[in-house]
Amino acid sequence: MSSKGNTSGADPSWGKRSDLEVLNRDIRRVDGPDKATGRAVYTHDVRLPNMLHAAVLMHPVPRADIRTMDISAAEALPGVVYVLRVKEDGKDVQYSGDDAVLAVVAAESPEAAMDGVRAIVVDAENKEPVVSTERAKEPDAPLVARRRRATSNITSRRARGEEDAVKAALEASAAMVEMEIEIPVQHHVCLEPHGHVVDPGGEGENATVYASTQAVSGMSGAFAGKGMLNRKASEIRALTPHMGGGFGAKFGPGLEGRLAAQIARATGRPVHLVLSRSNEFTMGGNRSGSKQSLKLGADKTGKFTAIHVVAERHGGFGGGAFPGAPYRYAVPSVFVDTMSVKTATDSSRAMRAPGHPQASFGMESVVDQIAYALKMDPVDVRKKNLTADTHHRQLDRVAQEIGWNDHPNRTAPGTPKNGRAVGIGFGVAGWSPGGRDCQCDVTVHPDGSVISATATQDLGTGARTYVAAIVAEELGLTVDQVTPRIGDSDLPPSVASGGSVTTGSSAPAIKDAAHKMREALEAKLEPVLQAPVGGYIWTGGRVHSEEDPTNSLAWTEVCALLRDPLQVSGRFQKSLYEGRIHGVQAAKVEVDTMTGRVKVLKMVAMQDQGLPLNRMALRSQINGGMIQALSYGLLERRVFDESDGYLLSDNLDLYKIAGAQEMPEMVAIIDDEDERDSVCGMAEAPIIPGQSAIANAIYNACGARLTRMPFTPDNVLEAIHGEV
Residue number with CB closer to ligand FES (191 or 412): 191
Buried b (16+ CB within 10 A) or exposed e, 133-156: bebbbeeebeebbeeeeeebbbbe
- Residue 37 near which of ligand FES, other proteins, none (CB within 5-8 Å, type-dependent): other proteins
Q: Are 679 and 612 in contact (CB under 8 A)?
A: no
Q: Distance between CA atoms of 328 and 307, rounded to whole angstroms?
A: 13
- Which residues from 529-568 bind other proteins, rule CB under 8 A? none
Map the footprint of other proteins across residues 669-688, applying CB under 8 A: none
Contact 381, 302 (CB under 8 A): yes
- Tell me which of ligand FES, other proteins, none is bound by residue 45, counting a contact when its beta carbon lies within the kind-specific cut-off of 5 to 8 angstroms: other proteins
Of 266, 666, 670, 717, which lies in the binding site for other proteins, with binding defined by CB under 8 A? 666
Residue 159 C-beta: closest distance to ligand FES, Å? 41
Considering the complex, state which of residue 552 and residue 623 has its C-beta at the smaller distance from ligand FES.
623
CB of 37 to other proteins, least distance (A): 5
Return the residue of 1, 144, 228, 239 that touches other proteins, per CB under 8 A: 239
- Cα–Cα distance, 223 to 230 (Å, whole number): 8
Tell which positions 170-199 bind other proteins, by CB under 8 A. Answer: 188-192, 197, 199
3-state secondary structure of 454: coil
* Binder of residue 38, out of ligand FES, other proteins, none (CB less than 5 to 8 A by kind): other proteins
DSSP bridge partners of 10 = 8
Measure Cα distances from 538 to 27, 210, 240, 448 in Å.
19, 39, 33, 15
Letters for 473-492 (x = contact with other proteins by CB under 8 A, - = none) are: ---------------x----
Positions in 444-463 near other proteins (CB under 8 A): 459-462
265-284: contacts with other proteins (CB under 8 A): 276-277
Minimum separation from the CB atom of position 32 to other proteins (A): 4
Residue 701 to residue 415: CA distance in whole angstroms: 7
Q: Is residue 246 involved in binding ligand FES (CB under 6 A)?
A: no
Interacting positions 79-98 with other proteins (CB under 8 A): 79
Helices 690-702 and 713-721, packing angle to 10 deg: 40
Residue 648 interacts with other proteins (CB under 8 A)? no
Let me know: does 457 contact 418? Beta carbons within 8 Å: no
Q: How far is the CB of 460 from ligand FES (least distance, A)?
A: 5
Residue 61 or 459 with smaller CB distance to ligand FES: 459
Binding of ligand FES by 245 (CB under 6 A): yes
Residue 718 binds other proteins (CB under 8 A): no
Q: What is the CA radius of gyration of the chain?
A: 28
Out of ligand FES, other proteins, none, which partner does residue 500 contact, by CB within 5 to 8 A per kind?
A: none
- Nearer to ligand FES by C-beta: 191 or 648? 191
CB-based contact 552:544 (threshold 8 Å): yes
**Cβ nearer to other proteins, comparing 500 with 707:** 500
Residues 44, 265, 287, 544: which binds other proteins (CB under 8 A)? 44
Task: Output the DSSP codes for 111-155.
Answer: HHHHHHHHT-EEEEEE-----SHHHHHSTTSPP---STT--SSEE
Three-class SS of residue 341? strand
CA distance 241 to 188: 21
Helix axes 463-475, 502-529, angle to 10 degrees: 20
Question: Please, which residue, 349 or 708, has the CB nearer to other proteins?
Answer: 349
Q: Which does 549 bind (CB under 5 to 8 A by kind): ligand FES, other proteins, none?
A: none
Segment contacting other proteins by CB under 8 A, of 44-52, 364-372, 495-503, 513-521 = 44-52
460 contributes a contact to ligand FES by CB under 6 A: yes
Residues ≥6 apart with Cβ < 8 Å to 260: 54, 195, 196, 197, 198, 271, 272, 273
Quick one: angle between helices 378-385 and 389-402, nearest 10? Answer: 170
The partner in contact with residue 140, picked from other proteins, ligand FES, none with C-beta cut-offs of 5 to 8 angstroms by kind, is: none
CB of 192 to ligand FES, least distance (A): 8
Q: Where are the beta strands (DSSP E) in 127-268?
A: 154-160, 175-183, 195-199, 207-211, 236-239
Among ligand FES, other proteins, none, the one that 364 touches (CB under a kind-dependent 5 to 8 A) is: none
DSSP state of 236: E
Q: Which stretch binds other proteins (CB under 8 A): 54-62, 297-305, 371-379, 407-415?
A: 54-62
What count of other Cβ atoms lies within 10 Å of the Cβ of residue 204?
6
Helix (H, G, I), strand (E, B) or coil at 393: helix
- The single residue among 76, 150, 168, 191 that binds ligand FES, judged by CB under 6 A, is 191
Number of residues counted as binding other proteins (CB under 8 A): 97
Specify the amino acid at residue 683.
A
- Report the residue from 4, 9, 11, 35 that binds other proteins according to the rule CB under 8 A: 35
> Residue 335 class from Cβ within 10 Å (0-12 exposed, 13-18 middle, 19+ buried)?
buried
Nearer to ligand FES, 15 or 460 (CB): 460
**Main-chain dihedrals φ then ψ at residue 531, nearest 5 degrees:** -120, 150
d(CA 434, CA 498): 9
Stretch of residues binding other proteins (CB under 8 A), selected from 109-117, 156-164, 373-381, 515-523: 109-117
N-terminal to C-terminal alpha carbon distance within the chain: 65
Q: 110 or 161: whose CB is closer to other proteins? A: 110
- Site for other proteins contains 31 (CB under 8 A): yes
Nearest distance from C-beta of residue 459 to other proteins, angstroms: 6
Cβ 315 vs Cβ 191: under 8 Å: no
Sign, CA dihedral 517-485-25-678, equals negative
Q: Is 110 in the site for other proteins (CB under 8 A)?
A: yes
- Give least dist CB 70 to other proteins, A: 8
Q: Supply the minimum distance, in Å, between the C-beta of residue 653 and ligand FES.
A: 10
Least distance from ligand FES to the Cβ atom of residue 172, Å = 51
With CB under 8 A as the contact rule, which of the stretches 290-298, 390-398, 498-506, 615-623 interacts with other proteins?
615-623
Least distance to other proteins from the beta carbon of 88, Å? 16
User: CA-CA distance, 310 to 137, in Å (whole number)?
Assistant: 15
Query: Residue numbers of the site for ligand FES (CB under 6 A)?
Result: 191, 245, 460
